[in-house]
Structure 1
Amino acid sequence: MTQKIVIGVDIGTTSTKAIAIDVKGRVLAHHAVDYPLLRPEPAAAEQDPQQIFEAVTTVIQSCAAQCRAKQADTQVLAVSFSAAMHSLIAIDGDDQPLTHSITWADNRAAPWAERIGAEWDGLAIYRRTGTPIHPMSPLAKLVWLRHEKPELFARTRRFVGIKEFVFHRLFGQWVVDHSIASATGLFNLERLDWDEGALVMAGIEADQLATPRPTTDSLRGLPASLAESLGLPADTPFVLGANDGVLSNLGVNAIQRGEVAVTIGTSGAMRCVVDRPLTDAEGRTFCYALTQDHWVVGGPVNNGGIILRWVRDEFAAAETETAKRLGIDPYEVLTRIAERVSPGAEGLLFHPFLAGERAPYWDARLRGSFFGLGMHHGKEHMIRAALEGVIFNLYSILPAVEAVAGTSRAIKATGGFARSPMWRQMMADVFNRDVIVPESFESSCLGAAVLALYALGHVESLDVVADMVGATHRHSPDPESAALYDQLKPVFLSLPHKLQDEYRTLAAFQQRVGSRALNSSQ
């Protein structure tokens, strides 16, 4: 019997991953290729698009080969794509890149994002496009390029994201799915087309962008040489897919009303699904497309697992080196240290704004701090406060999300942090909701694969994902800890608003000092 598979590919910030599943959702193969994040100047965060294209072809070829090695009679029904949002590449008239892929983490457009928000009616653009005004967005990046790199801007024939670049290399067409488009700040959610007001602000025409198409559309007709190298028939459908955030919701089976997906990787996000485009009156949440009847409302944070890495390096370097020699996960050592301290870290709070912050503040100038530090606090309190700070910070998005999408009842939690029983319980206690850890393998890859099955008619509904995703852990709130955290949450939430002027003063000071230090070292 022929083994029928779908390959789901996720083009991420630090790696491209792929899985192959059968029509029942069982994972048959997986592969990942890492690549560096390039920082050629302060605040820059770029990737080499050709390097990413090669990673994409490698993971597809590997997954197909792994499946055929297990069963020679294997049919690849489709390849489907997830990708990180907000990337921007300038392309010349010969369809060659003039820049690297400028990622969501690039902060060079920060002054222009502030002007858009404060002076150019940015809230109205947000309400039409669903993308908060922030340096991450291609809209802000285009305004920055237009004003600060006019020669490059003038030479550019079109502006695309990384997934459009990959599809053009595969099929010679410039197309963008509605989901990636809805995260640009340039796409009108009601009309499902480029927004005229945003285009005027960016200084570009619609024909300088890719053609928007539904997430369920597909392309066929690979060049013969490329099809051969991938190990696929040339007519294999390549489904456009969606962005990584909305597909992660699908991949963890958080697509019903009241179900919230929380992810903590390097960064983090909270998302829930609604049935039509919805935006927040204050511009605190995003709204991105999944399908015509599925839209994802939520908010991302810059400061997730990156905080855990910082804590490990700055507070527990000796312990983690010992753990490595003993074959123990260094992050397990951190949680063991944090467990010495009771919930609430004896009144110590940590605001984890080491990389500025997106939702719900959308302010790149926020800075991290310990608050409430006393003589009775030691290293273990600071470690616990940092872990709690990441969860408090995610919690700060919940009121905005619920104001748009309604009350939540359960959290589906994924990401590296979900391996830690302590952190899972901490989330249940802070949110005062059940936390469920789905049994999914690379949720964005799985979401892409399920979307392909739906797009090509192999399943009737996206709800089929419920039969593919089990639960590995479930945590209910501890009443005593939840009550304690309820006392601390108002303090945590109020401080960023009270300290706005001080954050801005410090950020400007740090930028001046950092620029002088960079110039003196060159």
Structure 2
Amino acid sequence: MSLLGVDVGTTGCKSIAFDVTGRILAEARREYPLLNPKPGYWELDAEQVWRDVTATIAEVAAKTGADPITALAVSALGEAVVPVGHDRRPLAGGPVSADFRAPAQMERLSATLGDAAIYAITGQPGTAFYSLPKMMWWREATPELYDRVWKFLCFGDYVLARMGLDPVIDHSMAARTLAFDIHRGEWSATILEAAGIPVDRLPIALPSGTLVGHLDADMAASLGLPASVAVVTGGFDQACGALGVGVIDAGTGFYGLGTTEALALVVEPPLPNLEALHVALCPHVATGKMLAMAGSQTGGRLLNWYRNEFAAREEELARESGRDVYEVILESLSPEPSPLIVLPHFTGSGTIHNDPYSKGAIIGLTFDSKRADVAKAVLEGVTYEQASCLAHLDASGVAIRRLMVVGGGARSDTALQIKADIMGRELCRQDTSDASCLGAALLAGLATGIYSDLADVKKIVERDSVTFTPDPDRHRVYARRLAIYEGLYDALIGASRELDRALV
């Protein structure tokens, strides 16, 4: 028997079959575009996502006949939401967290309830990148579409609905909508009433690792799967990734390096100082555990922006040599800190400041500045943002000295050494590049009795790892530059807001 983990991400999806020891048997991936139909709008074509998910599942199923898949679960990007009609088809694109169409709705919700009350119920800081403000936006901006909505679904429950099952959302993902009471484990009547969204427009919420049902014969056949494959609630991709690398116990931490960057730290509430830092709390997919979540919507998107706008020569060299363009960019970087500092607020500030109006900046430019200086400053800037979060968390009593790192950005030794030097703590990369898929598969195994408990799961995820240790001399230099970085937001926010007004 084998277990299937499906991961639906911001720019692509993958399906991986694992045997019961966690060994990869087969995998398949697809990429899809993140659409930008107008300034500030970022969304996915949910129909395209479904086609690519089914293609990856079918490809993996065709390779696992000797070890057939018995159960599956889905890991998915947080916050992104799709309005779905009674035919289970999308009625519009699915805006992702970076989408900025609903600040007015979020401001009104905050004015009605107060940010402190919202945080007390949901564990999330009040910001427009969550799902609920976008549901409010559809109701107000497109009432005809809103009237046709059967359910508002995040991408994990959307995949289950397209499979013909009840649309069930797990608690970790429900928390990322801004409509879920993380303490009671149910949709918040208080929040939904203030937002004007009926609870029957939302899916059923159940803990991660719960059996939802089995695929019927027709759906299983269309996916190339055996009949009656068990389908299990998965979770928020960062939480699934944390499970996949063994970040289960308090004091352990996960650093996800993808399109966005996220820190997920296992904590034991109450932690009264986290609200002031705009750090989110959400249920872990490891039932009974809680995650403190911090991060930035910029992450790997910023290096992608650099590649698209500045790296034509590196693109050419990559084509000529058959290498990855990011490898070519990174090999040109000096081991020493960049003379420039990038404020990576290209989609607002992220955790700590929680300011969607902050703008990005490059500080320190002179005629001596080189493209490689900008490239390195881009990598450093997104890391300064996370280092600042960790410093504030340390001061609040959440001390994590060692972080497990996963995601596309974790493949580069150069990038990880830069991050370790800036953060001043060890970064450990396990021999798995697909922790979110593994975490989802492990949840499928827990629900179907293949694993008896989390202790069994921990045995599966204990793997060899490579540790990146901070260079003391470079860390001292970076610590001084981090102090400069932390002053940039206050120094520039006035200009950012004046620029917004000047562009109107």
**Cα deviation, residue 8, structure 1:** 0.5
Aligned to 1:110: 103
> In 2, are the aligned partners of 1:220 and 1:234 still within 8 Å (CA)?
no
Q: Amino acid of the residue matched to residue 333 of structure 1?
A: V
Question: 1:125 Cα shift?
Answer: 0.7
Kindly indicate whether the alpha-carbon contact (under 8 Å) linking 2:407 and 2:433 is maintained by their aligned counterparts in 1.
no
> Is 1:303 matched with 2:303?
no
Does the Cα contact within 8 Å between 1:247 and 1:443 map onto a contact in 2? yes
* Residue pair 1:450, 1:465 contacting (<8 A) in 2 also: no
Deviates more, 1:326-335 or 1:90-99: 90-99
Distance 1:379 1:163 in 2: 40
Q: Using the alignment, how far apart are the partners of 1:374 and 1:97 within structure 2?
A: 49
Change (3 A) 1:277 1:233: farther
Residue in structure 2 matched with residue 156 of structure 1 by the alignment? 149
* 8 Å CA contact retained: 2:216, 2:227: yes
Code of the aligned partner of 2:6:
V
Q: Which stretch has the larger CA shift, 209-218 or 381-390?
A: 381-390
Q: CA deviation at 1:401?
A: 4.0
1:515 match:
none
Q: Of residues 29, 46, 50 in structure 2, which corresponds to 1:53? A: 50
The DSSP-based 3-state class of the residue aligned with 1:354 is: coil
- Contact 1:82–1:247 under 8 Å retained in 2: yes
List gaps (5 residues or longer) in structure 1.
513-522
- Where 2:406 maps in the other structure, the secondary structure is strand
8 Å Cα contact 1:129-1:187 kept in structure 2: yes
Q: Which residue of 2 aligns with 1:169?
A: 162
Give the AA of the match of 2:235.
A
Q: Distance in 2 between matches of 1:462 and 1:365?
A: 41
Gaps of 5+ in 2: none
Identity of aligned residues (%): 32
Match of 2:33 among 9, 31, 36: 36
Distance 2:310 2:32 in 1: 28
SS in 1 for 2:332: helix
Mapped pair 1:257 → 2:250: yes
Cα distance in 1 for partners of 2:315, 2:150 equals: 50
- The answer to whether 1:352 aligns with 2:344 is yes
| 1:447-494 deviations in Å (ceiling 9; x for gaps) | 101122222222233343454352442111111111111111111012
1:239 aligned to 2:236?
no
Describe the superposition over 1:410-437 as per-residue Cα deviations: whole angstroms up to 9, x where unpaired: 0212222223222211111111111111
Q: Which residue number corresponds to residue 60 of structure 2? A: 63
**CA apart distance, 1:103:** 2.1
Q: Secondary structure at the match of 2:63?
A: helix
For 1:419, which of 408, 411, 419 is the aligned residue?
A: 411
Task: Give yes or no for contact 1:33–1:55 (8 Å, CA) kept in 2.
Answer: yes
- Whole-angstrom distance in 1 between the partners of 2:258 and 2:418: 17
Q: SS in structure 2 opposite 1:458?
A: coil
- Cα RMSD after superposing both structures: 2.3
Does the 8 A contact of 2:102 with 2:128 survive in 1?
A: yes
CA distance in 1: counterparts of 2:397 and 2:138, whole angstroms? 35
Judge conservation of contact 1:276–1:294 (CA < 8 Å) in 2.
Answer: no
Measured against aligned partners, the alpha-carbon deviations of 1:247-275 in whole angstroms (never above 9, x if no partner) come to 01111222233222112212211111235
Q: CA deviation at 1:188?
A: 0.2
- Match for 1:441: what amino acid? S
Partner of 1:89: 82
Asked whether the equivalents of residues 345 and 360 of structure 2 are also in contact (C-alpha less than 8 Å), the reply is: yes
Question: 2:296 is aligned with what amino acid?
Answer: V
How far did 1:278 drift? 5.6
* Conserved 8 A contact 1:262-1:414: yes
Once the two structures are overlaid, the 10-residue window that deviates more, 392-401 or 206-215, is: 392-401
CA-to-partner distance for each residue in 1:180-213, whole Å, 9 max, x for gaps? Answer: 1111100001111111221012202212211111
Per-residue deviation, 1:393: 1.5
Query: Does the C-alpha gap of structure 1 residues 258 and 291 become closer, same or farther in structure 2, counting only changes over 3 Å?
Result: closer
- Contact 1:335–1:422 under 8 Å retained in 2: yes
For residues 150-209 of structure 1, the C-alpha deviation after alignment (integer angstroms, 9 at most, x for no partner) is 333344343222222221222342321112111110000111111122101220221221
**2:354 counterpart residue number:** 362
Q: TM-score, normalised on structure 1?
A: 0.89
Is contact 1:139-1:198 (8 Å) kept? no
Structure 1 residues 459 and 277, CA, compared in 2 at 3 Å: closer, same or farther? farther
Q: 352-361 or 407-416, which moves further after superposition?
A: 352-361
| Alignment CA distance shift 1:489-1:208 (3 Å) | same
Residues 191, 462 of structure 1: alpha-carbon distance in 2 compared, 3 angstrom cutoff: same
Distance 2:445 2:332 in 1: 45
Letter in 2 for 1:196: A
Aligned counterpart, 1:372: 364
The answer (yes or no) to whether the contact 2:34–2:42 under 8 Å persists in 1 is yes
Within 5 Å, give how 1:380-399 maps onto structure 2: 380-399=372-391
Residue 220 of structure 2 corresponds to 227
Task: State the AA in 2 paired with 1:182.
Answer: A
- Distance in 2 (CA, whole Å) between partners of 1:50 and 1:331 is 30
State the Cα deviation string for residues 56-104 of structure 1 (Å, max 9, x = none): 2222222222121xx3xx3423111111111222234555432222222
Shift of 1:239: 0.6
Tell me, what secondary structure is at the counterpart of 1:254? coil
Paired position in structure 1 for 2:2: 5
Residues 505 and 37 from structure 1, CA distance in 2 versus in 1: closer, same or farther, beyond 3 angstroms?
same
Match of 1:180 among 173, 187, 191: 173
Mapping 1:475-514, distance limit 5 Å = 475-510=468-503, 512=504
Alpha-carbon distance change, 248 to 160 in structure 1, aligned in 2, over 3 angstroms: same
TM-score normalised by the chain length of structure 2 = 0.92
More deviation in 352-361 or 465-474?
Answer: 465-474
User: For residues 236 and 325 of structure 1, do their structure 2 counterparts lie closer, same or farther at Cα, with a shift above 3 Å needed?
Assistant: same
Secondary structure of 1:366's aligned partner:
coil
1:171 is paired with a residue whose SS is: coil
Name 1:286's counterpart in structure 2: 280
Which residue of structure 2 lines up, in the alignment, with residue 315 of structure 1?
Answer: 310
CA contact (8 A) 2:217 2:228 kept: no
The separation in 1 between residues aligned to 2:109 and 2:32, in whole angstroms, is 33
Describe the shift of the 1:174–1:417 C-alpha distance in structure 2 as closer, same or farther (beyond 3 A): closer
Equivalent position amino acid for 2:380 in 1: E
